[in-house]
Structure formats: C-alpha cells, structure tokens
Structure 1
Amino acid sequence: MNNTETCNDEQVIIWLDLDIYNENTDYRLTVDILQEINCRVLLFNNSTTCVDHIRSIENTKIFLIISGFFAKQILADIHQLKGLHSIYIFCTNKFEHEHLCTKYRRIAGIYTDRKSLKNSIERNIHIMNKQAFTISLFDQKQKLTKVLSKESGLFLWFQILRNVLKQIDSEHSDEAKQQMINICKNYYQNDVITMKQINKFKESYKSNDAIKWYTAPTFLYRTINQALRTEDLKLMFSLRFFIVDLSIQIHRLFDEQKNTFDLLYRGQILFNEEFQKINNNIGSLISVNTFFSTTKDIEIAKRFVELESCTEEADKTGVLFYIRIDTLHSKTIIFADIEENSLIPDEKEVLFDIGSVFEIENVTYDDHSNLWKVFLVTTDKGSYHMQNYTKFMEYESQETNPAILFGSLLIDIGYTNFAKSYLEYLLETPMKYDQDLANIYHNLGRAIRAQGNFFEAKIYYEYAYEIRKTRDDKFGIARSLIGLGYIYYVLGYHDRAIEYNQQGILLLKYLLKTSDHILIGLALLNIGSVYFTNEKYDVALFYFLEQLFMHNRLFDGEHHYSISPLIEIGNVYRMKQDYKLASRYYKTALMICEKHLPSDSPLKLNTYSRIAYCFEEIRDNQLAFEIYEKILIIQKKFYSESHPNIAQIQLQMEHTRRESINKST
C-alpha cells in the first residue's frame, strides 16, 4: 500500500490494481488526475490488504477503483460494506465486465480511459457533497421558554447564528479573512491541490464572487457545510468572513430578482431515522442547518436522488422535496436563483440562506417513482419563535446582544462545554460596551457552574459584578448578587449567601416596582435552601411557598418554574415526617414535569432524578422505580448501552426494586 497524500477530508479514493506500482507513465498520470479530485488516494496491489483496509475505515466515504481482474474476485465480498460509496471498474475491455453492473448496484460504471473515470468520480463526489445536510425540528406545540428540547434549541440556535456571525464580522476585516485562510491551510496542509486553491482565494477573491466560489469544486463548499452540519462552532466562526459574504450576496440577488417561483425541488437520500423524524412531525417547523440547495427543474432533483440511491446503503430512504413558496407568509425567508452566478449552471439551482425555515405540510409515497414525497412550505414562523425567545430572555436577564444570547441558549439546552468555549471566544472579540463584557463573564459563570466547578464560576461572577458596579447597572448588579448568593450557599458561606440574595431582592423590587420577577423567585429559592440545609424548616417553607405563589401569579397556573419550589416544599414536609403531604407536592411536581418539560431537556432528566430520590426517601419505592424507568428510556436516546450513565441508573433501579420487595415482606 502507498498513501500518496494524507489530509483531512470526508472521502477517500482507493485504487486496486495488480500493476499499480509498475513504472508506467499512465498509472502516474492517472494518480495525478485523481488527486485533482481528492487529495486522499490510496493505492493497493493486493486484494486482501485492500479489503482489510476498507473494513477498517470509519466515517469516510470510499470511492473504489478496481481492475477487471480483481472485480471478478472480490466484488461479491465487498459490495455491501458500509462506507463504500461507489465502485468504478477501470479496465481495457468494457464489454467483458458489463454483466457485473446488473449484479452489483454500487458499480457506477466501467471505464477504459482516465478522463471519463475522472469525470464520473468528480460528479459523484459533487452529488454526495450536495446530499450532505442536517435538519432541526421545532414542535410548535411546545411552550417557548428557556427550557427547550435539544431539537428545538438547535432550531433556534441556527435562527440566531446568522445574525451572530454578521455581528461579529461587522467590520469584515482583512484580519477575519486571514484567520479563515490560516485555518483552511492548517486543515488541508497536506493537500497540494487544495493549498493552491486557498492561495488563489487569498489573491483573487472578491465579495461579489461568493456564489461562484461556493459552487466551484473547491475547499469552500465542503469545509463550510462540514462546519455547519457538525455544529463546529470554532470552525464556523473562523469561516465567518466567507459565510457572511455568501449570505449577503444571496440577499442582494433576492432583492434584485423579485422571484415569483411557486415550487422548487430537491432530491435527497436520508437516513431512515432522519426520514422518520420528518414523517412523524407533519405540521412542525424544519430548519435546514446549511445553505439549502434546491432546483427549478424537478427532473434534475429526481436525477440527484436516483444517482445517489444506486450507491447508498439499505438504511437510507430516497426523498423528493417539494418546496412551495408562500410569499405572503415568508417575508423573512431569503433565497436566490443562482443559475447565472454558479459555475454549474446546468443544475438550475436556487439557494436558500442559512437557517431557512419550512413547515412540513405532508408526506406521501409515490409508487410510480418509488420515492417518498415531502411537501414543505416557506414560513416566517421560525423568525417569530426566535423573536419570542429573545423577548423572554430580555425580560429575564435584560440581555439583548444576539451574540451573548447565543451563548445563553447553549447553556439552556445543556451544551455547557460548547457554551464555555464560545463565550471564551467572545472575550477575544472587541466588545463595544462594558455591559456586554459583564454579561459574557456572567454567562461564563453560569456555564462553569453547570459543570460543577463552583470556585471557578465564582471568579467569573465576580468579574461581572465589579463591571456592573462601576457602571451602576442596577439590574446587572442584582443578577450578580443572586448568582454569587447561590455560589456562596453551595460553598458553605451561608450568612453571606442570605445577605447577597436579600440584597438582590431589594434591588430588583426597587428597580422594577414589583415583587414578582423570575430572578426574585430564584433568590427566594436560594434563601429557602440555606435555611433548609440548616434545618430551619419552617423558615425554609416560608421562602419556598413565597416562590411558588409568585410563580403562580406570574404565569397564571402551571409552569415549569413551579417544579423546584414544589419539590423543596415536599422535602420540608418529608423532614417533618408528614409523608402524605410530601408525596402530594412531589406528585404535583412530577405531573408538571411530564406535562410541560420537553422529553430530551436536561432539566427533565434532572427533575426526574430529584423526584425519584424523594420518593425513595419517603419509601414509595414503586413510584421511584417507575420514574427511574422513564429516565432510562430518555438516556437510551442519547447514550449507548455501555455508557456509565445507563449502568448507574440500572443499578439504582435494581436497588429500588429490592427495597420495594423488602418493604412488602
């Protein structure tokens, strides 16, 4: 085996031929041509070694070139291997091997010259790259608060992302361009062809050429879409110079063209799980987490899905998207006909801006084409939900900067490591206002506190507190006092914890002219927790009840904010040995949890765990066991069977089951 180049990429070309290492000019020229398509070209002259290597490859699509001699020997063994995208028989006698095409569906063709071989592989890599996209769904029945399912959180994530990138890249500096070039050079450092493309980009790129560069078979398309699909925030921000340019050019063409399309199309191969997610959520909103490529020509869309379906695994489904343009109710959805700007005009492409939102109208199966049809319609509802979320966050924290709200959203959906890295990145960008800097420090404290590092969290809360005191930002000071008050409680400084929380309450009441606010409720909970820890249960009960009554006034009934005080009130009665009353409050908390918290939100898992523990404490082991079963179902959606979290909850269930048996004997 000889690895002609190594580089970071999502696909590899493998060539198996008995004479591959002969001193033959034709072989060398063919390798050079293949490397123009893809930097990773692996050469083999031994079928066993080649097949073993193919079996060892993970998370990479394989384009296999094979001689006629080896095709007859190994196709039966390798044809169904996962990761094998397509097979190209490269030989001198095309007719001798044509019968294999009908037997093995992943054979893309039989080729006798390197030009036709190159064109076929290049086309299929292009189609594969076009197929790569991810989606997020938003359940419109979900109440929009800061407690979101991860799915709905990621939906809003991409709604805010575009504005964040534009804000951070507002000066569109040469420094941002150079940062992008440096990242790309590092990423493709061993890829000679791509390094030439990057240098050409550095010397000749102009903002008006963004679409041409994006549609060209260069590093930009695959790198940008890889960053967006994998939610690689660091890479996204490094590429913001070009992402913003592309978005701006789409906006400009949208304004100039005044397009009157009624219907657009996209052919797509989806993983069965992804397709079922769409099929099971008719009426929900769907956001495509990349720049979304469609076509004006339904035959082109069909050709895309037909070509790709011949090469893919059985765990995927062919889908034809019908995208209806509702101009009356989708004024925030931006798209452009890029046929005249594209380097591949034959695709008749219409490109949607990043984070475009559609509503799933229907899903049907077409027996004639053997394809599923997914009917989407453009909608402004994504923008509406984003505005509602930002309004709620502005009410709760008075944060209005989209870049900082983005970090807060990451914390809310449980991406604390991600949030920490992002907020640290923001610290390196120039902030226009001290208030923004204080809010970054405050949210860093939140992210680090959620990870259980209270000493480090305290440092960042204190940074925010000092800046806010300097600015006389009374609301910000109150936030800092309450945040620090909780930290002091956890660290055991109880007198200081009570003092800080009480100061925060007084300041908010003075500032807001009301006793009802979410932050006041949080402070009441903190104070009650201090008294509970010190076994002053009557005083603790007073504060927990105050918080519960306040939330009932604020939200006019059931709300997830009531869960914590309900559990804590139950704990007070448990300590007073009034188990009947304790059970009543726990069951109310459980009912609200099940009714109002998304199934995959971190808060739901945490709440289930807390309530299960409480039921164990009052010896209601059967109910505790049932809750642990629910925790296990949720965890299995995110973890493998061997994950320690799964093992831990199974052990807890076994312990609870045995306690229940002992209680009944």
Structure 2
Amino acid sequence: MAESIMTARDETRHVPTNTLHSFNLKICDNMDEYIVCLVGINDNEDLSKSLPAMISADRIHPFDNVTATREYIHKVENTKIFLIISGKLGKDYINELVGEQQIIGIYIYCKEEEVHKTWTEGIEKVRCVVSNAEQLVGRLHIDIKQFTSRWPLDEKSVRKALTDDAQWYHLFLYVICNHSLYTDDSRAKMFQACRNYYPKVAHQIKQIDKLEEEYKPCNAIREYTKDSFLYRIVNRALRIQDMQIITEFAPYIHDLHAQLYQLHEKYYLSSKQTIRSVYRGQALSLDELNYLKSICQSRRPIIILTSFISTTLDPGLALGFASAEHDQIPCLFEIIITNEYNNEHQHTPAHEQVFANISQYSAMGEKEVLFSLVSHFRVERVDYPVDGCRAMVTLELISDRQGACTQNYFQIADTISKETNPQVFGDVLHILKENAADELQSETTNWKQWWSRLSSKWGTRETDNRPLHLIMYSCFTDNPDWSRKAIEMNKAILRAESEIEANRSSFSYLFKRFNSLRPMPTECLALFEEYLEPLCKTNSNEVYECLCSAGYTYNNISDKENALKCFEKASSIKRMPEIQNQIKHLKKPPKQSKPSQSREVVQMKQDYTKLPIRKRLDHLLEYLRQRQRWYDAADAKILFRRSENSRDGLSVNDYRCYSLSAMKRHLSTSISAANHEDLCLWRYEKYTHDLYVFKQVQHFLESFQDKPVSILESILLELRILVKKLNVLIVLCTVYMCCKSRHQVIDTTKLRFPKLTNLGTEREQLEFFDLRDEKLSDNLKEFILKSSAANSSVTIDEDSWKYSSAQDDQTISNFLDEINSIV
C-alpha cells in the first residue's frame, strides 16, 4: 500500500512553474532512451502533473505498486529507469529494486526524511531522500543531464566500442566519415529527420527550416559548436551508438569530418606543429574512473573514442568543466601529442584520424581543438583525486596503425567509402550495421574470420569485376544468411555467362567447373544449386563425389541444413564411414552457448612474480626506458615550451639548460599549459611520487653492486638519469608555482609535500619489480652469482647521455644574474 500523504495542498509538494521551465529537457528527449517511473506517490497527482513541463509526458509512467513497475521495466529493454518511490515502498522493496540493472537512480519521496535516510545510507542507487518536490525535481534534472553527457564510459556497449574489439562499428564510422557522395536528396532527408525528432516544437522547426535553406558544408564546424539541434542529435546518436540515426545524419557527419580533415592537412603541411597538449574537463563517476584505470593497467592500454571529442588549449577553461556534481569526481584529461606522432603525420599522404584547432570557426570563440571519430589514444596515467582535488587522466594520441588497423585495412575501407553505386553502398552499410549491432551486444564476433578472408581475397582474381557487396557477402564463413545472399547474387552472374548456359545439360563440364571454383565457396555452391543439383539424379561415382563436395562446402560456410541434405543424398548412393560420421555430427543438437560475461578489460594483468628474475629485470629496464622517453616526449616538451619537432631524446644537460630558459620565460609571460598553477601542482606531486619510487628501487639495487652485472649496470644508469631529470622537473614546477609571473613575489602557500607512504602500499611499487616480494632479494643474489662480471672499462657521462646539448655559457650566466636581481 502506498505511503499515506496529506491530501490538502502542501506547498513543499508543489514545483514552481519557472523552476520547471528552467529545467526543461524536452528538447533532448527524443535522443535518449529513459523513463521516469512514479511508484506509490499519492500527492493529488501534483508531481505527475508537474513533470511534463520538464520532460515529455510519454516518458512518465505512474504505478500503484512495485510488482507492476517491475513487470513494466522488464518489457522495456535497453531503457534506463529513473524511479521515484514512496518511503514505505522503497524500504520494503529496496533489495529487489537495486538488483534491476535498468534502474540507474532511485528517489525516495516521503514526508519523514530523517527516518528514511537511515536505511538508505550506503545504497549507491538511492540518489536522494526528500520531502520537497522542488529538490526532487532538481536532483532528477541533474541526473538526467548527466545521463545524456557527451563522453560516458559506463555503458557496456560504450566500453566495448572504446576498445579495438569493436571493429565492425569502427569500420562503419570510418566509412560514414569518408563517403563523399552524399547528395542534396540525402541532406533533405537528414533535415526531415530533424523535424521528425521535434514534431511539436514550433521554434525548433523554424530553426531547422532556416538551417536547411542556409546550410553549407563549409559551416559544419560552426554548427557543431553552436550546441544546436544538429549537434545534439548527432552527438547523442554517436554516444548511444544508434546506427540508424548515424546513417540518417551521415551527410553532416561527413561534412564535419571533411572540414576537420582540411584543417588537419593544412596544419601538417605547415613548418611547425605547435599543439603539444590539449585538455578536457569532465565529471566522472567512480565506476568510470576505475574503468579507465583498469584499461591503463592492462597489457594493451588503448582506447578508441567513437564521438567527436571537444578539447581546449586552455587548461584553465578545461578545469572549469571539471567541477564536482554530487557523487561525481571532477576529472581533467590531458591529451599529449608527441613529436613522434607529428613527424609521422608530416610524411603521411592520407590521414586516417584527424584533429584541428577550430578556434577561428567556433561559435563559442574558445581555444577549441576538436578530434574526429575513431581517434586512438593510449591511457598513459590515471591518478585518483587526493584531498578533494581533481582526478587526472593522461592520454597519448597515437597512430591508428599501432592498433588493429593496417595499411590494407585503410585501402579496403577507402574503397568502401568511394563506392559510387548507391544500392551497393547501401547494402554495404547494412552489412556493417547489422554486424556492428551484434558485436556491441555480445562478446562474440565473427570479425577476425571475415576480415582475414576479405584481406586474403583483396586484389586477387576472386574480386575482379565483382560488386563490392558480393565480395563482402562471400567472406562470411559462420553466418549462412550472409552467405545465402552471395550465393543468390552469384547465380545471377552465372546465368549471364553464355558458355555455362550453353553447357547447362553437360554434367561433366559443369562438374569440372564446380571443382575449379572450390576455393570460392559461394560461387561454387551457386553453380551447384543452379546447374548441377538438378542433374544429380543417377547413382554414379561422379554424382556421389559432387554431393559430398557440396556437403563439405556447405559445412564450411556453416549452412548445416544444406550440408546434411547433400550428405544424406550421397549416403543413399554409397554408405561410406566418413559420410556417416558427418551425418551423425550434423544431426547432433547444437551446444547451448554459455551467456557471455562482462569483461572490464580484455587483457588481464600478468603475475610477474612467477617470471624468472632475468625477465623481470628486462621488464624493469624496458619500463625505465619507456618512462624516460615519455618524460622527454611529453612532460619536458610541455614544461620547457619546446615547440619544434626535434628528436624526442633529451639529456640531463638538455633538461637543465631548457629549464633555465623556461624559468626566464615564465617570469615574463602569461599563464599557459606549462605554468598553470593547478597543473603544476599535479605534476609536482606526480614527479615527486615517481622520484620516490625510483629512488627506492635504486637504493635496493645498489646494495647488490659487489659484482658488476651488465643488466644491473644498465638499470642503475637509467635510474640515475631518471632521478636527475625528475629533480629538474620538480624544481621547475616549484619555480612555476612559487614565482608569480610578472610579479617580484615568491609565494610558497600553494606548495605542499605529497603524502608518500612506505613500501607497504601497492601504489609505491612497480608491479614487475615489487620490493615487497620476499623472494626478490634471494633470486637477485642467485642471479648475480651465476652471471659473469660486466666489463667496467667503458665510462658514460650520465649528464650527456642520450644526446649531447650545447648551451652558451654566457647566456646561462646572464640568466642567473637576472634571477638573482629579481629574488
């Protein structure tokens, strides 16, 4: 029974009209699948009458009891539920409701807040316990807005699309972006689709009519930055992977990508690439942050973003978007673009992934850098917030050729994109959409087999003069429905061959042709069904062989029904054990596939403690070299403000000299990504933590120097260089934080010492060289005893290693004099 609520007018149960209008979400309603359920709310229908001012009425569903509510929820699959429930019903049924995966928020609407806050404490899905309707609607508004955010990471399908497992979907998006043959008719259909999304919003229809009349592809970026209906529809379609909407709005997606491509190409044709880092501020849930951390710690920490991603050159602006909202964690993304990436793209004739500074085209006038679809990033670092600060995520933009994408991949993808026949292109898109939907909804995919066959066929006789969709149909080996389409198309092609038609009644000719087509299953079976099968009426050896061959070919493309049919006919001619075994096997009921389990990341972490000590030392050495390359390529280039595309390797002396120049520039220039106070504090703490970890490892290994061993000497060399470089970076960050630009003031109030713990915590350890491992020391001693001594006759100047650096002594002297005069 619903909780009793006074029937008299209660102002706390009334939401002011102006509040509802300010919370209006109806303009976004058609792009998101969610429902608001009211359960056991007896307030003279005040709430159910008020909510339609904020969201569409068809999204609001009242219920008297929980049983009916749950029955409804089970009927609306793939729909998120925001559930407002009375206090008594909520308390009685909370366990059942929390278990419903579609419910993403529970709102306890009651008269006795304190009573119900007691039992709801610690239940994550309970978003609030309130008696005030305005507070309830306010929280609901925040959560719905958050649900429709631009870059969610919590949905299973989104998570799958983030990894390189979602190859069908990524290829679909690539084709949509690069297919340039969109017509005026396709754009007209796109704008009609816009009207369909806003059928009763007069002012929105007026805007759509105006944009259709004035639309120019060269204004695609400006329309995107307006936060207009076009941006909202496209961005949400990409977020929820609605491939039908994406297809409808493909003309605009192409125009936006094409304009970005032009700017990207122009940028890389210029003599300098000055964009070193860009930033994005966003609130994330703990679950989302944990997911990114799990990716970072995996063997392949790569994510592929499948939406247009807006970033900024101004970290201060990004930090403004990284504000905490209730249980959300403020997060700042730093995206690094290295010299290695720039140098590669300077010599690339075609760019498969693009980004561009769109500040001059933006309607917002911000220092905005926009990344197009299917951009690849390495998750370099994920730092959880400390003492109420922001979480920091470092991503590195990488070439897509480092992932699952090869040169052959883009050659085939470009061929698909350039298909000129509308019918063929439509059929190809249908193939990609259908398989992408299956791929995103399950853990199994037939991509690898299909792509392997397509790649092996590409450029061979099998693809000559064959329509593109037929080539793609014929590459399916585990889906008889797609293979059937290829067989039917091949029949039509065969019927057009005069030589075959002339020999329609010649079994020997057709059987010979059949055998020559065996490497091409669908073409082979098309000939069998159209010509040979009607002739298989005798009990000859040739007919037996033909039926057996057809059976095996059907089986190879997973057409079990026709395979069984052929084998049974062959068995009626000659009962051979092999064919009987095939029949027996095909008649077995298929095994029930186990339900797939969600995977946080595909690659599991390796247990390094089980590896031989030499391999662990090799891992350590490679890790230290990677860290040094990363500091040189990313951190140093940002902090030193080095804009040229020089080699990434820097020596310790380079660090020292460039840091002096950077300090001098800091005293006379404005705030940037290099000396932004919040970023400097984060970097300062990051470098201090890394220094602590490396010093611990260095101290541990130095105790084993009685006998010089090559691998240990190499590791200690890398550690000493890293420690020196980190010391320079820490000093530089300290100067940036304490010496205010253009002010003769030293302010240490922002400086704080990180909370470094002892060796007992996992955070202070390298997973492949954990100093808490009790066997590590003994294993290392044993390894050293068995190893031959290293040749110590070669000495290395650590401060000049890897690269030498020349610097005018007089310049340094003049700079130090200037620093002394200011201080």
- When normalised by structure 2's length, the TM-score is 0.43
Distance in 2 between residues matched to 1:113 and 1:341, nearest whole Å: 43
SS of 2:60's equivalent in the other structure is strand
User: Does residue 236 of the first structure (1) align with residue 254 of the second (2)?
Assistant: no
User: Does residue 461 of the first structure (1) align with residue 490 of the second (2)?
Assistant: yes
Q: Is the 8 A contact 2:172 2:429 kept in 1?
A: no
Q: 1:10 aligns with which of 21, 28, 33?
A: 33
Q: Is the 8 A contact 1:88 1:107 kept in 2?
A: yes
SS of 2:300's equivalent in the other structure is coil
Task: State the shift of 1:393 in Å.
Answer: 5.7
Q: Is the 8 A contact 1:364 1:373 kept in 2?
A: yes
Distance in 2 between residues matched to 1:240 and 1:7, nearest whole Å: 18
Q: 1:159-205: CA deviations, max 9, x gaps?
A: 563344442x43x433112222344555x47x634x76355323335
Q: Is the 8 A contact 2:428 2:469 kept in 1?
A: no
SS of 1:376's equivalent in the other structure is strand
Q: 1:442-474: CA deviations, max 9, x gaps?
A: 54566699526877644412445688x89xxxx
Task: State the shift of 1:354 in Å.
Answer: 0.8
| 1:264 alignment partner in structure 2 | 279
How many residues end up aligned between the 2 structures?
A: 486
| 1:583 alignment partner in structure 2 | none
Distance in 2 between residues matched to 1:417 and 1:183, nearest whole Å: 21
One-letter code aligned to 1:329: Y
Distance in 1 between residues matched to 2:307 and 2:483, nearest whole Å: 37
Q: Is the 8 A contact 2:334 2:394 kept in 1?
A: yes
Q: 1:559-612: CA deviations, max 9, x gaps?
A: xxxxxxxxxxxxxxxxxxxxxxxxxxxxxxxxxxxxxxxxxxxxxxxxxxxxxx
| 1:201 alignment partner in structure 2 | 208
Aligned pairs for 1:432-447 (under 5 A) are: 438-444=467-473
| 1:648 alignment partner in structure 2 | none
| 1:192 alignment partner in structure 2 | 200
Q: Is the 8 A contact 2:177 2:258 kept in 1?
A: no
Q: Is the 8 A contact 2:379 2:396 kept in 1?
A: yes
Provide the identity percentage.
17
Distance in 2 between residues matched to 1:234 and 1:242, nearest whole Å: 14
| 1:84 alignment partner in structure 2 | 103
Q: 1:614-633: CA deviations, max 9, x gaps?
A: 99969xxxxx9xxx9xx979
Q: Is the 8 A contact 2:293 2:382 kept in 1?
A: no
Distance in 2 between residues matched to 1:198 and 1:261, nearest whole Å: 42
SS of 1:636's equivalent in the other structure is coil
Q: 1:96-118: CA deviations, max 9, x gaps?
A: 9988996655425869575x766
**1:165 to 1:413, Cα distance in 2 relative to 1, 3 A:** closer
Distance in 2 between residues matched to 1:237 and 1:119, nearest whole Å: 35
**1:399 to 1:61, Cα distance in 2 relative to 1, 3 A:** closer
User: Does residue 162 of the first structure (1) align with residue 162 of the second (2)?
Assistant: no
| 1:646 alignment partner in structure 2 | none
One-letter code aligned to 1:34: M
**1:21 to 1:339, Cα distance in 2 relative to 1, 3 A:** farther
Q: Is the 8 A contact 2:292 2:382 kept in 1?
A: no
SS of 1:260's equivalent in the other structure is coil
**1:414 to 1:118, Cα distance in 2 relative to 1, 3 A:** closer
**1:392 to 1:405, Cα distance in 2 relative to 1, 3 A:** farther
One-letter code aligned to 1:12: I
Q: 1:21 aligns with which of 6, 25, 45?
A: 45
Q: Is the 8 A contact 1:13 1:62 kept in 2?
A: yes
| 1:499 alignment partner in structure 2 | 513
Q: Flag structure 2 segments of 5+ consecutive residues without an equivalent.
A: 3-25, 268-272, 346-350, 440-462, 529-535, 554-576, 599-823
**1:58 to 1:275, Cα distance in 2 relative to 1, 3 A:** farther
**1:8 to 1:54, Cα distance in 2 relative to 1, 3 A:** farther
One-letter code aligned to 2:211: S
Task: State the shift of 1:158 in Å.
Answer: 1.8
Distance in 1 between residues matched to 2:320 and 2:77, nearest whole Å: 29
Q: Is the 8 A contact 1:287 1:355 kept in 2?
A: yes
Distance in 2 between residues matched to 1:262 and 1:349, nearest whole Å: 12
Q: Is the 8 A contact 1:292 1:351 kept in 2?
A: yes
Q: 1:287 aligns with which of 292, 304, 312?
A: 304
Q: Is the 8 A contact 1:319 1:373 kept in 2?
A: yes
Q: Is the 8 A contact 1:159 1:383 kept in 2?
A: no
One-letter code aligned to 2:489: Y
Distance in 2 between residues matched to 1:75 and 1:239, nearest whole Å: 46
Q: Is the 8 A contact 1:448 1:457 kept in 2?
A: no
Distance in 1 between residues matched to 2:364 and 2:84, nearest whole Å: 26
| 2:740 alignment partner in structure 1 | none
Distance in 2 between residues matched to 1:298 and 1:466, nearest whole Å: 68
Aligned pairs for 1:514-529 (under 5 A) are: none
SS of 1:329's equivalent in the other structure is helix
| 1:42 alignment partner in structure 2 | 60
Larger radius of gyration: 2
Q: Which has the higher helix share?
A: 1
Q: 2:355 aligns with which of 335, 358, 363?
A: 335
SS of 1:415's equivalent in the other structure is helix
One-letter code aligned to 2:103: L
Q: 2:594 aligns with which of 631, 636, 641?
A: 636
Q: Is the 8 A contact 1:309 1:318 kept in 2?
A: no
Task: State the shift of 1:122 in Å.
Answer: 4.2
One-letter code aligned to 1:324: I
| 1:245 alignment partner in structure 2 | 255
Aligned pairs for 1:103-114 (under 5 A) are: 105=124, 106-107=126-127
Distance in 2 between residues matched to 1:534 and 1:637, nearest whole Å: 43
Q: Is the 8 A contact 1:20 1:45 kept in 2?
A: no
Distance in 1 between residues matched to 2:275 and 2:396, nearest whole Å: 14
Range with greater deviation from structure 2 (282-291 or 493-502): 493-502
One-letter code aligned to 2:354: I
User: Does residue 60 of the first structure (1) align with residue 84 of the second (2)?
Assistant: no
Q: Is the 8 A contact 2:260 2:356 kept in 1?
A: yes
Aligned pairs for 1:419-438 (under 5 A) are: 438=467
**1:213 to 1:40, Cα distance in 2 relative to 1, 3 A:** farther
User: Does residue 33 of the first structure (1) align with residue 40 of the second (2)?
Assistant: no
Q: 1:105-157: CA deviations, max 9, x gaps?
A: 5425869575x76665444333322244625589xxxxxxxxxxxx7573375
Q: Is the 8 A contact 1:11 1:63 kept in 2?
A: yes
Task: State the shift of 1:10 in Å.
Answer: 1.0
One-letter code aligned to 2:309: F
One-letter code aligned to 1:44: P
**1:222 to 1:50, Cα distance in 2 relative to 1, 3 A:** farther
| 1:575 alignment partner in structure 2 | none
Range with greater deviation from structure 2 (89-98 or 225-234): 89-98
**1:409 to 1:181, Cα distance in 2 relative to 1, 3 A:** closer
One-letter code aligned to 1:288: L
Distance in 2 between residues matched to 1:221 and 1:361, nearest whole Å: 30
Q: 1:363-416: CA deviations, max 9, x gaps?
A: 67667679987643111234886452347869xxx9676557997799799939
Q: Is the 8 A contact 2:305 2:373 kept in 1?
A: yes
Aligned pairs for 1:350-365 (under 5 A) are: 350-361=369-380
Distance in 2 between residues matched to 1:111 and 1:58, nearest whole Å: 31
One-letter code aligned to 2:190: M
Q: Is the 8 A contact 1:283 1:361 kept in 2?
A: no
Q: Is the 8 A contact 1:10 1:61 kept in 2?
A: yes
Task: State the shift of 1:253 in Å.
Answer: 6.0
One-letter code aligned to 1:83: Q
Q: Flag structure 1 segments of 5+ consecutive residues without an equivalent.
A: 139-150, 311-316, 420-433, 471-476, 506-517, 545-612, 619-623, 641-665
SS of 2:467's equivalent in the other structure is helix
What root-mean-square deviation, in Å, do the aligned CA atoms of Structure 1 and Structure 2 show? 6.7
**1:18 to 1:261, Cα distance in 2 relative to 1, 3 A:** farther
SS of 1:359's equivalent in the other structure is strand
One-letter code aligned to 2:594: K
Distance in 2 between residues matched to 1:118 and 1:7, nearest whole Å: 20
Q: 1:40-96: CA deviations, max 9, x gaps?
A: 441538465785477545422233456xxx346626744735333345677999999
SS of 1:235's equivalent in the other structure is helix
| 2:144 alignment partner in structure 1 | 125
